[in-house]
Every structure is written in structure tokens, then in C-alpha cells.
Amino acid sequence: MNIEALISSFSNKRIAVIGDIMLDRYIFGHVSRISPEYPVPVVDVSHETQRLGGAANVAVNIHAMGAETMLFGISGKDGNREVLNGLMKNHGLDTRHLFEDPERPTTCKTRILSQNHHIARIDYESRQDASEEAVTFIRKHFENSIGTLDAIVLQDYNKGTLTGLLIRNILETASEHDVPVLVDPKQKSFFSYTGCTVFKPNLSEIASSLGITLANNDDDVEKACRKLLSQLACRDLVITRSEKGLTIYNDRITHIPASSLEVADVSGAGDTVIGMLALGVASGLDIEKSAVIANLAAGTVCQEVGAVPVNPEKLIKACEDYFQE
């Protein structure tokens, strides 16, 4: 298999990413003392960075592979929206498909780190369902683009963008146009994605939604997959299992071990996985090969602190090493 040619073929694809868009802010510093006012660590700040998170990080990962990416979602009408716009433009992403809602904040997660260890996180967000006006805006922009799409990613963080009505509309429209839909779910709308192409939950999301205790062993995971697939009627289940890698369940079961690369931070790894799965499915790869590539891509981004997009050169090297073994 010519890995470089395969990765290069991703640039011919057009992928829509719809879901909860976030701004990730990182404050880096050093803790050397405890506050005399309260028994809390004092962080001497060295620098700050701001990155695209949530559905926007999925879009960045897909775009980093050369594919054309359309990002649909909601922001507030505030300073963080301006930061979001600037970051999107820096990454070559179009901001026209983002609805600006003055009644809700732009979702922003501020992480405070000392020596690359997380000290605290501060969230600005609304979890209320999107307004009727916002849903209509996203639906119209999406429907105007459906004829040009090779795949659709629904990235749900339970922040209100993917309402039940919008989910049904997207799935119905995608089915009419034979466009695959890949879902990264959260608990609130977990069973609203019946009939999607690929469904990618993690173990805790499955356990919470099925109301079961789920150990991270193959037998328990396989039992949960059978139960879940019967309720969702999707084509493929791809289960992320942290240090145990991925499990694929359809008409057969496949376990893919985690990448052996050194892990610095798992932030954004799930975004990378769903983005790479979408590119693989859009390119006609079988789900097992797509999942191997996605798993290797996640391994490369976990080597860095914070959510970062996959590097095509690192991914090509990781894939060549894996498939030559």
C-alpha cells in the first residue's frame, strides 16, 4: 500500500463538520508557592496560547490533511467570537457557516497548567438547546452544500448545537444524497443518531447511556457493542478505549491496539480520530483500515500538550512503520 499516495488522496475530499465549536485557551506557568490568602497554588504565568477546540478542532485536523472542510455551528457575539474568527482564518477555515447568537457565550475552556500538568479549568458556555433561528441557519447552509460533500461529521459535546430536530434533518438529507455520516456522541442525544454510518463513543459514554458497569476488557466491550448496535442500527461502531486502543464492531469484531508512541496529553485525540475516520470513509477505505490510520494519527497528536492538528508527515511515517511490520 502506497501510504503517501493514500494520504495525498484525502486532499480531493470535501467534509462537513457540524457541532459544538469551542475556543481552547491554555495558560502555562510554574507553581512555586501557596497563596497566603487561601491554601491554593499560585501560578506564575509564562505564556498563553489559544486554539480551536471541539468541532472546530475536528475541522482543523481534516483541513490539515489537505481536504476542503466546511464547519457549521454557533458562537456568541463577544470577544471570544472575534478570537475564534481569527483562528479559523489562520487555519484556512470559512467562518460564514457559524451562526452568531448574542444570547449565549462563545464556548471557551481555559486550562491552567504548571510544568505541563493541569491545575484547573474554567468554562464559559451555555448548554441550552440552540434557538430556532440558529437551527434554521445551520440547516439551510448545510442543505445548500449537501450535493458537494463526501462525508459529514456530527461532533456533539452537549452544548446545544445538535438538537433533535437538526440531527433528524441532517440524517435524512444525508441518506437522500447517499453521503456517509460519522458521529462522535455525548450522552444527552446518544440514541438520536439511529441510522448513521459510523458511531464513535468511548467506554464511559456507552456505560452511562446503557446504564451498565463496563470494564475495559474485550468480553465486556463486545457484549456492550452487540446491545448498542441493536438499538442504533448504524453500519459501524468504533469504540475508543484509551490505553487499549479501538474496537470496531459490525458484522465482525476487530480490536486495534493503542499506538505505542509516548503520550504527553490526550486532549483532542478523539477529535483527531473522528476526523481521520471521516477522511478514510470518504476515500472508500474499509472501516478497519480507516481506524488503524485514525489510531496512529491520534498517537501522534498525543505527543504534544493541548489539542493540536495531525501532522501529515508524522502520520505518513507512523503508517509506513505500522504497515511494514
Q: Is 271 a catalytic residue?
A: yes
| pLDDT number for residue 122 | 96
Task: Round to whole Å and give the CA distance between 320 and 315.
Answer: 8
For residue 7, give the nearest of 207, 289, 268, 325 by alpha carbon.
Answer: 289
21, β-bridge pairs: 54
All 3 cell numbers of residue 271? 477529535
In this predicted model, what pLDDT tens digit does every residue of 105-129 receive, in sequence order? 999 999 999 988 889 999 999 999 9
Mean pLDDT of the region 189-193: 94
By three-state DSSP, how is residue 224 classified?
helix
Of the pLDDT bands very low, low, confident and very high (cuts 50, 70, 90), residue 244 is confident
Active-site residue among 20, 101, 156, 271?
Answer: 271
For residue 26, give the nearest of 320, 267, 316 by alpha carbon.
Answer: 267
Task: Round to whole Å and give the CA distance between 145 and 136.
Answer: 14
Strands 151-155, 181-184: pairing is: parallel
| pLDDT number for residue 258 | 80
In this predicted model, what pLDDT tens digit does every residue of 254-301 receive, in sequence order? 999 887 556 554 566 789 999 999 999 999 999 999 999 999 998 887
Task: Round to whole Å and give the CA distance between 253 and 256.
Answer: 10
Sequence ranges of the domains in the chain: 3-23+51-107+126-324
Task: Round to whole Å and give the CA distance between 5 and 2.
Answer: 5
| pLDDT number for residue 267 | 60
Dihedral class, residue 268 (left if φ above 0, else alpha if ψ from -120 to 50, else beta): left
For residue 309, give the nearest of 26, 11, 53 by alpha carbon.
Answer: 53
For residue 83, with 0-12 CB atoms within 10 Å meaning exposed, 13-18 middle and 19 or more buried, which class applies?
Answer: middle
| pLDDT number for residue 304 | 67
| pLDDT number for residue 21 | 97
Of the pLDDT bands very low, low, confident and very high (cuts 50, 70, 90), residue 1 is low
Task: Round to whole Å and give the CA distance between 29 and 42.
Answer: 9
Q: What CATH number has the domain spanning 3-23+51-107+126-324?
A: 3.40.1190.20
Task: Round to whole Å and give the CA distance between 183 and 152.
Answer: 8
By three-state DSSP, how is residue 181 classified?
strand
In this predicted model, what pLDDT tens digit does every residue of 15-36 receive, in sequence order? 999 999 999 999 999 999 999 9
All 3 cell numbers of residue 247? 474496537
Candidate from 78-82, 174-178, 249-253 with smallest mean pLDDT = 249-253
